[in-house]
Every structure is written in structure tokens, then in C-alpha cells.
């Protein structure tokens, strides 16, 4: 059976998640053999974060950051191989997303920092990268790409499920009971909560949502935060730090300087929860099970709020981590890119036009042979 590696570094800019899988006779029958996480050093994180915005000598800094990033990718691959006892020649391909620094499908482009040629050189394994561009070339958003994978591994006929990925940005996959699939970005995930607690408490993230839990939601501020056209925009839609960046939040907070930092954190948590649940209620009102993955799955304040918001007016919706389905919430996206690499090598489409808005099914990714 073929082996694949998936690597993911997301908008939270915390590090690289990697998985090594064995594909079965059916693509949904993948078996995870190993997982690894390599955190970014403060220097790497700073370099990547600085590139979220235009600046001096940007082309050079992008190239240098890509090389730094690939060293982290290669370290993650090495850990996976050591953990399984496999060697490079046994791995069919590495699927790697790259680090998004621009996502502007409305202008026909997306940029994920990466140097897949160097990664192929360092690992001696074929690398498949640049998964979003083909969908954008076909008129799509290029994101989210995970709904097709979610359907393959988490879908269940006669039961409407929603998979919520909460990284820096949040997205949902609606897996309808009749087999249809929809999905789109809902808005901020952890991006503002992480930035705010770093600013005020020098912590990378709000562990378990404890700080937010001690605050009070400011309803006026929440309404002001939700007064953003993206939230009302109809899908297909995708977003990122191009819109939801620190300056966006500063602008929103200008009229609310009297709100305490802890109450701002509580309100940012509510923003993430409400925009997710608003999207679910609007497009999957018959949902029975919601499964959460990504770093947000570890924030019980956030997940409790999502559960509360979905279960008003006599509704009964279960809200659980993807762990109950046998997949760690921290590994779902890396698994998705291993799966997309498999789809590429089998010459199978990786996008869902009904999700991204592309003109049709497309084989995603570009191959860099070792």
C-alpha cells in the first residue's frame, strides 16, 4: 500500500503539523501511522508574520522565509520517518500546503510561501504543493479545500454533519444527509484571540479559553465587530489575514477604549462562536452533529459557547471534537493534504466546485520530483 505525508502550517503561525499515512484500497481507508509537530522558532514566526503585509525588499524576504520554512518541514518529515522506520524511497509523495501570506482570489491569485524544490532535495521524496492556484485559475476561491476530504472521511448518509475547522481563520464543511457538500470560511478563528492575549499577557494563546471565560461579552462591541460585509457575503467565500488583521481590530476598538482587555477577549471569543453558528444556522439548519478540529477544539470556552448557541429553541445538536471520530483535531488538516497528494498522483480532482465556485473539477497541486 502507498504511503503519503501531509504537512500543514496555518494562519495561527505556531508551527508545522505532519502526518504519515498508509492509503488503503479505498481512499477513505487511510491509516495514520505517525504524527509530528515542530513549533516555529520566534525568528521564523516573526519572519512569516512580517510578510503578511507589504514591506521593504519583500521578494528577498519571501525567498529567505520560504527556505527557513522548508527546513522546518524537512525536520517534521524526518521525525515521521524515524517514528515509523520507513525510508524516503517508500513514500509516494509529500503533500504540503505552504504558508499563506496573500489570498486574493478576487484578483485571481493566492500566495503560499514554500520552496517545494528544496523540500524534495532535502527529503529525497516527491513533493506536491501549490494546491490552491489551479482552483483559482478555474474561477474559484482556492479555499477551503478541506470539505472534499471531510466528506470522504467524516460524511454519513442520512445524517447532516458539520465539520468546523478553527485555526487562525474558521471554516465549515456541511456534509448533508443526501451526500451533497458545501463549505466556506466563516471569518476569524483564533487569530484575534491569540493576538490580543499576546499583546496583554505575553501568551501565545488563551489556554482552554480561561482568560475569555473570566470576562464578560460586550454586546455593543460584538455588534460592531459583526458589522463587516464579509459576514453577510454569500458563499462561495474565503478570507484570511488580508482582511482580518490587527489594524482591522484596532479600527473596530477605537470607539470602545473603555472596555477592559479581559472583556475584549471574551467578546472576540463570542465573535468567533457567533459567526460560526450563524453560518451553520443559515446553511445547515438540519444539522445533528458538529465536529470541531483545529486549535480551537482545545478552547472549551469557545466550544461551550458554540454548543450553547446551536442548542437554543429546543434544538439538540451535539458538539464534539473530531477525536470521537478517531481523528485528532490537531491532525485533520495535515491529513487533508496527504489525501490531496494522493488525489494528485491518482489524477483525481481535489476541489469541489460547489464549495469554491470553480468552473469544474480540477486536479490540484504541482509536482516537484525528487
- For 2-62, the DSSP string reads -EEEEEE--TT-SEEEEEEEE--SSTT--EEEEEEEEEPPHHHHHHHHHTTS--TTHHHHH
pLDDT at 242: 93
pLDDT at 312: 81
**Model confidence pLDDT, tens digit, residues 140-159:** 999 999 999 999 999 999 99
Asked if residue 285 has pLDDT above 80, the reply is yes
CB atoms within 10 A of CB 23: 21
Tell me the three cell numbers of residue 250: 484596532
**Model confidence pLDDT, tens digit, residues 250-264:** 999 999 999 999 999
Name 28's Cβ contacts closer than 8 Å, sequence gap at least 6: 152, 153
Confidence of residue 287 (pLDDT cuts 50, 70, 90): very high
For 146-325, CATH number?
Answer: 3.30.420.40
pLDDT at 167: 95
First to last CA, the chain: 20
CB atoms within 10 A of CB 180: 13
pLDDT at 152: 93
Asked if residue 54 has pLDDT above 90, the reply is no
pLDDT at 29: 78
pLDDT at 11: 84
Q: What percent of the chain has pLDDT over 90?
A: 94
With residue 182 as reference, give the H or E element that holds it. Answer: strand 181-188
Tell me the three cell numbers of residue 30: 487511510
Sign of torsion over alpha carbons 99, 101, 103, 107: negative
Task: Please tell me the class of the 3-141+331-368 domain.
Answer: alpha beta
Q: Do domains 3-141+331-368 and 146-325 have the same CATH topology?
A: yes
Residues 181-207, mean pLDDT to the nearest whole number:
97
pLDDT at 249: 97
Name 27's Cβ contacts closer than 8 Å, sequence gap at least 6: 152, 339, 342, 343
pLDDT at 25: 79
Asked if residue 239 has pLDDT above 80, the reply is yes
DSSP-assigned letter for residue 322: G
**Model confidence pLDDT, tens digit, residues 7-40:** 999 888 899 999 999 998 777 678 999 999 999 9
CA angle (191 as vertex; 190, 197 as ends), nearest 5: 85
Confidence of residue 215 (pLDDT cuts 50, 70, 90): very high
**Model confidence pLDDT, tens digit, residues 317-367:** 999 999 999 999 999 999 999 999 999 999 999 999 999 999 999 999 999
Domain ranges in the chain?
3-141+331-368, 146-325
Amino acid at each position: 500500500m502507498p504511503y503519503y505525508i501531509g504537512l500543514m502550517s496555518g494562519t495561527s503561525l505556531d508551527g508545522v503539523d505532519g502526518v504519515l499515512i498508509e492509503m488503503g484500497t479505498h481512499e477513505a481507508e487511510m491509516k495514520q501511522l505517525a504524527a509530528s509537530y515542530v513549533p516555529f522558532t520566534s525568528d521564523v514566526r516573526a519572519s512569516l508574520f512580517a510578510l503578511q503585509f507589504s514591506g521593504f525588499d519583500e521578494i528577498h524576504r519571501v525567498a529567505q522565509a520560504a527556505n527557513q520554512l522548508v527546513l522546518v518541514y524537512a525536520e517534521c518529515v524526518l521525525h515521521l520517518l524515524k517514528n515509523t522506520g520507513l525510508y524516503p524511497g517508500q513514500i509516494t509523495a509529500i503533500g504540503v500546503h505552504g504558508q499563506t501570506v496573500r489570498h486574493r482570489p478576487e484578483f485571481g491569485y493566492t500566495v503560499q510561501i514554500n520552496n517545494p524544490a528544496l523540500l524534495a532535495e532535502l527529503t529525497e521524496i516527491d513533493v506536491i504543493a501549490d494546491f490552491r492556484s489551479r482552483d483559482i485559475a478555474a474561477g474559484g476561491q482556492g479555499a477551503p479545500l478541506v470539505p472534499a476530504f471531510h466528506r470522504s472521511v467524516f460524511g454519513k448518509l442520512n445524517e447532516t454533519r458539520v465539520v468546523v475547522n478553527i485555526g487562525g481563520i474558521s471554516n465549515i464543511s456541511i456534509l448533508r444527509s443526501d451526500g451533497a457538500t458545501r463549505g466556506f470560511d466563516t471569518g476569524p478563528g483564533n487569530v484575534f484571540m491569540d493576538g490580543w492575549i499576546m499583546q496583554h499577557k505575553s501568551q501565545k494563546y488563551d489556554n482552554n479559553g480561561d482568560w475569555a471565560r473570566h470576562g464578560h461579552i460586550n454586546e455593543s462591541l460584538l455588534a460592531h465587530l459583526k458589522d463587516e460585509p464579509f459576514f453577510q457575503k454569500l458563499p462561495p467565500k474565503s478570507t484570511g489575514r488580508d482582511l482580518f488583521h490587527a489594524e482591522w481590530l484596532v479600527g473596530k476598538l477605537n470607539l470602545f477604549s473603555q472596555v477592559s482587555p479581559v472583556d475584549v477577549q471574551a467578546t472576540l471569543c463570542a465573535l468567533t462562536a457567533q459567526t460560526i453558528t450563524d453560518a451553520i444556522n443559515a446553511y445547515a439548519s438540519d444539522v445533528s452533529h458538529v465536529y470541531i478540529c483545529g486549535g480551537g477544539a482545545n478552547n472549551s470556552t469557545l466550544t461551550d459557547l458554540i454548543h450553547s448557541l446551536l442548542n437554543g429553541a429546543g434544538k439538540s445538536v451535539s458538539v464534539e471534537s473530531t477525536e470521537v471520530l478517531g481523528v485528532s483535531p490537531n491532525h485533520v488538516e495535515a491529513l487533508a493534504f496527504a489525501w490531496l497528494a494522493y488525489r494528485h498522483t491518482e489524477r483525481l480532482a481535489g476541489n469541489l466546485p460547489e464549495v469554491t465556485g470553480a468552473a469544474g473539477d480540477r486536479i490540484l497541486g504541482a509536482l516537484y520530483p525528487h
